[in-house]
């Protein structure tokens, strides 16, 4: 009887240890499966120039300032890059207006009324913008920014370099094909826009 009782206890202890190990292994397998799924979901694949590129998905807060700066730079490139072609100007302005509120549309209408774009076309003038820096305050929404840039106004006889400083606030909106960053520039205004370096071109 003593041998049977001892054998029963040993079998019971073995079963308890075995079940505990099974439980721990199951928990570990579930954890690793969840971690693998999470890792797979955080990876996205982008097709660029016919090649598949693996990209890492991250929370928006991690890259908030980077996205805001790129949004602001994209808007300024579209709004201030001009060529003596009415169709190109309208196309750029239309794309730029998707990224901002009515403040930019008001400036565009004012410039159009004053004949600015007509002079660009009739004078065969091109304009290029170079963004020096975009300072963003991303602590509290709506996020404020200030953009520092230079413009190159290119004519057949001379070039003019201009200093440009603008400011505004950023509001989050839904992403779309026309607004891939999902931001909207509000209360946009030009603080400074003056010639700094004329350059005469000798024939």
Calculate mean pLDDT across residues 75-103.
Answer: 95
Calculate mean pLDDT across residues 163-186.
Answer: 93
Of the listed ranges 9-23, 56-70, 132-146, 149-163, the one predicted with least confidence: 56-70
**Residue 199 pLDDT exceeds 70:** no
Closest CA relative to residue 97, chosen from 71, 69, 121, 78: 78
pTM, entire model: 0.70
pLDDT greater at residue 145 or residue 1: 145
Output the pLDDT for position 203.
38
CA distance 117 to 125: 10
Closest CA relative to residue 107, chosen from 148, 73, 75, 85: 75
Give me the chain's average pLDDT, please: 85
pLDDT greater at residue 202 or residue 118: 118
Calculate mean pLDDT across residues 121-135.
Answer: 94
Output the pLDDT for position 54.
54
Closest CA relative to residue 197, chosen from 151, 165, 133: 151
pLDDT in tens, 30-68: 888 877 776 655 555 555 555 555 555 555 566 889 999
């Amino acid at each position: 009887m003593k041998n049977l009782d001892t054998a029963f206890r040993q079998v019971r202890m073995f079963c308890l240890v075995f079940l505990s190990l099974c439980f721990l292994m199951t928990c570990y397998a579930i954890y690793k499966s969840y971690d693998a799924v999470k890792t797979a979901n955080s990876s996205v694949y982008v097709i660029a120039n016919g090649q598949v590129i693996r990209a890492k998905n991250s929370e928006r807060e991690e890259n908030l300032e980077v996205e805001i700066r790129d949004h602001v730079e994209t808007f300024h490139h579209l709004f201030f890059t001009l060529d003596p072609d009415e169709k190109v100007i309208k196309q750029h302005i239309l794309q730029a207006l998707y990224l901002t509120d009515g403040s930019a549309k008001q400036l565009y209408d004012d410039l159009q009324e004053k004949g600015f774009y007509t002079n660009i076309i009739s004078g065969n003038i091109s304009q290029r913008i170079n963004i020096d820096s975009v300072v963003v305050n991303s602590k509290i929404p709506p996020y404020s920014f200030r953009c520092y840039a230079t413009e190159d106004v290119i004519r057949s006889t001379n070039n003019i370099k201009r200093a440009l400083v603008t400011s505004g606030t950023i509001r989050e909106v839904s992403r779309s094909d026309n607004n891939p960053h999902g931001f909207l520039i509000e209360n946009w205004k030009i603080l400074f826009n003056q010639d700094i370096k004329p350059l005469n071109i000798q024939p």
